[in-house]
Amino acid sequence: MGVLVGKKAPSFKASAVVNGGEIVQNFSLDEFIGKNHVVFFFYPKDFTFVCPSELHAFQEKLGEFEARGVKLVACSTDTEESHWAWLQVPKNKGGIEGIKYPLVADTNKTISEAYGVLNGEYDYDMDGKLVASGEMIAYRGLFLIDKEGKVRHQLINDLPLGRNVDEALRMVDALQFNEENGEVCPANWTKGKEGMKASFEGVAEYLANN
């Protein structure tokens, strides 16, 4: 689909594992509309190498996301049973035991395709069904979605490149600062720093003082 920033986040219903072990049906991000910001991120595959480092890194910062009223949700093209099995494996054995935020099962690949992060060679047949010629997994996509359900930030990394969780938090802070103050965030802005007014005068004032 390409760039989703400024557009409504694609809606879906899918199975997910929540609270570290409970499988639920028809999980949807729509339940957070009007209530919470959402950081929705994709990872390539269960039982791999870079992926658990990212999942644990997000878990370590879960309290900081929650303190900001942000829901953290992960997704891969594995089944909910695979998610559940990986959650039973201890961290020191390469597992993700202890992860509490939802893990969505994009088994039919439609969520990854809708968000533009599906890796692999694929096309559609005459009936409109997706046909793959190789393994199809998700790139490391991350989407910051506001309370109205609109995508405000997206980041897509290639498979070997892990993400920076602190940068995800910084983008949450920047969005919430803009929403609360109406000011924009200059380069390298972090929480606690000044913003700037979206005008030539505002830019000039900011540059003069920084």
Which residues are known to be catalytic?
51
Q: What b/e readout covers 2-41, taking b as 16+ CB neighbours within 10 angstroms?
A: eebeeeebbebebbbbeebeeeeeebebeebbeebbbbbb
Rounded Cα distance, 152 and 190, in Å? 17
The closest of 46, 121, 145, 44 to 86, measured between CA atoms, is: 46
